[in-house]
Structure 1
Amino acid sequence: MPAKARNNPRQIRVQSCGCKLCTDRFRPGEPFTRKDCTGPWQSRYRDPSGRQRAKTFAGKNAKAKAEAFLDKTRDQVRTGSFVDLDRGQVTLTEWRKQWQESLTLAENTAETTASVWLNHVQPHFGSWPLVSIGHLDVEIWIAKLSRVVGRGTIEKAYQMLDQMLRVALRDRRIAHNPCEGVKLPPAPPKHPDDLLPPTYDQLAAIRANMPEHYHPMLIFAEETGLRWGELVGLRLCHVDFKRSLVQVRETVIQVRGKVQRKAYPKTDAGCRSVPLSARAARALKGHLAAHPASIGRSAVESGMHPEELVFRSPRAGSKTRVRTFSGVLGRSNFWRLWTKAAEDAGVARKVINPKTKRAEMWPHEHDIRHAFTSRLHANGVPEADAQKILGHKRGGKVTWLYTHAREDAVARVREALDADASKLVS
């Protein structure tokens, strides 16, 4: 092991200085004009990889600063807390390219991530070096976003920046994560009535105004609570009439306008078995009698195979339709029919989404799943069982997100108060 240098830190000779050592080096033979040298002091050290590094200090107390830096840096290297701020000079745009290589994302998630980066993170921080982003800078950025987009978008943009900087922190490029402690603006709460799912009577009224082709699918959704991608991606080979259950093994996603099969729905908990009620079985058998499906079991990698789908587009026979959507029901087209049917049934109303600040029509087709879950809760199904049927990892989410107070809660409380009113003094 080489001996430790005794002249560390050392003073650097400069041409502008008139001391004896600097004069002898740059102007040999000339008389020196000052006693003390004005040259900067340089500290040399080795980073954790063994690479020789140096940092120079100039001005007042430069020697003391160089010595303090050297002691601190050596201690950081020994304890493993060393941060290479020079590596943190890379811009956020350059860092994202490296950070992205470490991710394994589903195609639809990657598409969303790219959109959030291009529209909200890159325009503000893209050209900033990592080490120059401060806590106040992040808070100012969040405040600007809150004036133009909803909380849901702000949350996604903030999470992306936070994840990128957390990796930079672990990679010893920055000394701290400026996103720590940043508070996002709270979303305005929804009115409790806007959180209630539609009743089954309301769903029946909407269904009555939908084209008959969709009736069995809507009844099936009311009885199983499947997500949209699981519903339109259901294959006959995954329906077991003998055991009265449906196996959820895959889903359908849309990436850049193209419909694709995906082997694992949302999370590992998405792969599950859902009971097939008598009402769902009757609706499904009637639908298959009019629109037969192949019992074949193709691999996900082999393509869509629309002939295996239980619920196909009514235009699945059209060559153009099959080529564009592979026979899969288009969500946007279905949503237009659903909204019109809800309006014709007198059920629809506009609701402001506090996360997006946009007016949305209630109920949404996803609210069928909410209604199904509330039905399980109202009938005393344990939370753990509901969690398994819905395909959730966390059982608590079933309670706070999907179970809602019964629609007649206000009436029941009023009746209780009226019954007790005779005991009170007027």
Structure 2
Amino acid sequence: MARKAVNNPRQIRAKSCGCKLCTEKFRPGEKPTRRDCTGPWQARWRDPGGRQCSKNFPTKGAAEGHLDEVKSAMRRGTYLDPTRTQITLEQWHAMWWPNQRGARSTLNRDERMWRLHVKPAFGSWPLTNITYLDVDGWVKRLLGPLGASSIPAAFQILDRLMTTAVLDRRVLTNPCDGIKLPKRRKKHPEDRRPPTYAQLDAIREHLPRHHHPMTIVAQETGLRFGELTGLRRCWVDLKGARVHVREVLEDSKGHLARKVYPKSDAGLRTVPLTPLAVETLTVHLGEHPADPARSAPGDGLREGELVFRGQRGRPIRQANFRTTWVTCCERAGVQRKTVNPTTGRTEWWPQFHSIRHAFASRLHELGVPEVVVQEILGHERGGDITWLYTHAASDVAGQVLAALTGSRPPLKVVESTGSPQPSHPQPSTTILSLPRKTW
């Protein structure tokens, strides 16, 4: 066993010092100019792995205090290697990022949040220098450049980085713990209500003809945009009136790719087709046949297998379709434009995803059990169905006014859901019917 050092901490000779020992080492033959040495004091110790470590301090007392702290930390098991704790957040991100796993769209979002918001704020900071107040102030400054719904995505990057640093024994605590994120701006019930089927009919009248079948199937099945654009002929059963959702088409940084769907098992499901949806698909596939071959996502796009394609036979991109959708909503007089007071961004209603909300509200008003709606829409949590899609679907104020003025019988409360009876007509296959020449 090595003998314990008796000169720990020790004073290091300095060129700027004029004491006898420093002068003899750096300027032999010269006369000393001072009595006491001003060189730094070096504290030396061995880490739990036996590696020699050292750190310099301006005074002997500071060096001795550090040695006492190191000994206490080793006994408590909280010792951290100083060379590991001084790594910057950008350096730590470069080590952390290659180990991240997830969907391509999620990874692209995380990379964008790191590059635009986390790195400019803390990239050059050592891990140990990031404090709770620093993170709290940064989150407050994000409100404006980012909306309250986007701030968690940026915050989670920093939180995950620091959580992994704690687990890797680089810092003792995570400064993100206890941070309160801004609450999302609440919307008026009118802004949460999905579009009616009559409004969707009006929008379709202005859409290009080749987009009509996709929008009709969307409001008859509640499929997401990526599920519709990635739908292949082999997963459409017209005789059995079923659609099997197995994969989606995603646009990642301008690159279209097939993705085994979904993140959770809830997305893998079978959706029934209404008579209108079956008729629409039958006519559409008669005019634009699709290859019924069954290929794997790794085989490439296989555009000929897609049920819904663009006018030139290419896959439909969400960005291009959104431009067309917003324009047609405006021409139909259905569009509502609002400016978010927090971010200053313009928000448009309805979005294409609002068709899914309308379909969920339709099932809710028809009395379909929530657990069934959850299964059809591909949600893991039933609460998403109740509060996000159907909570503001009914015109409660109109029903109360009608009851008070005697123009209709009093409201009847449904015990199973606690919601009043619907006030607008139930959708039928005739609501969405269009002349075949416009399909």
Assess same fold via TM > 0.5: yes
Mapped pair 1:11 → 2:6: no
Residue identity over aligned pairs, in percent, reads 44
The Cα shift of 1:40 comes to 3.7
CA displacement at 1:395 relative to structure 2 = 2.2
Superposition map of 1:18-417 within 5 A? 40=41, 42-47=43-48, 49-55=49-55, 59=59, 61-62=61-62, 65-66=65-66, 68-76=68-76, 79=77, 81-316=78-313, 327-353=314-340, 357-417=344-404
1:84-112 Cα deviation digits (max 9, x unpaired): 34312111111111110111233322222
How many pairs are equivalent?
401
Equivalent pair of 1:273/1:389 in contact (CA under 8 Å): yes
Q: Given that residues 88 and 131 in structure 1 are in contact (C-alpha distance below 8 angstroms), is that contact kept between their aligned partners in structure 2?
A: yes
What TM-score does the superposition give when structure 1 sets the normalisation length? 0.84
Give the SS at the match of 1:152: coil
Q: CA–CA distance in 2 between the matches of 1:406 and 1:353?
A: 22
Q: CA deviation at 1:266?
A: 4.1
> What is the alpha-carbon distance in structure 2 between the residues aligned to residue 372 and residue 355 of structure 1?
30
Check whether the contact 2:40–2:57 (CA below 8 A) recurs between aligned residues.
Answer: no
Q: CA deviation at 1:295?
A: 0.7
5+ unaligned residues in a row in structure 1: which ranges?
28-32, 317-326, 421-426
Structure 1 position 243, deviation (Å): 2.6
Q: 2:175 aligns to what SS in structure 1?
A: coil
Q: CA deviation at 1:393?
A: 2.1
CA displacement, residues 281-316 of structure 1 (integer Å, 9 cap, x when unaligned): 111111111111111112211111111111111221
Q: Alpha carbons of 1:264 and 1:42: their partners in 2 closer, same or farther (altered >3 Å)?
A: same
CA drift of 1:350 comes to 0.6
Partner of 1:424: none
How far apart are 1:341 and its partner, in Å?
2.4
Amino acid at match of 1:59: T
CA distance in 2, matches of 1:330, 1:36: 73
Distance 1:373 1:23, change over 3 A: same
Counterpart CA distance in 2 for 1:277 and 1:59 is: 83
1:351-400 CA-partner distances (Å, limit 9, x unpaired): 33567541122111110011111112222222222222111222222222
Name stretches of at least 5 consecutive residues in structure 2 with no aligned partner.
Answer: 29-33, 408-439
Structure number with the higher helix fraction is: 1
Normalising by structure 2, report the TM-score.
Answer: 0.82
Q: Supply the distance in 2 between the matched residues of 1:70 and 1:211 (Cα, whole angstroms).
A: 72
Shifted more, 143-152 versus 382-391: the winner is: 143-152
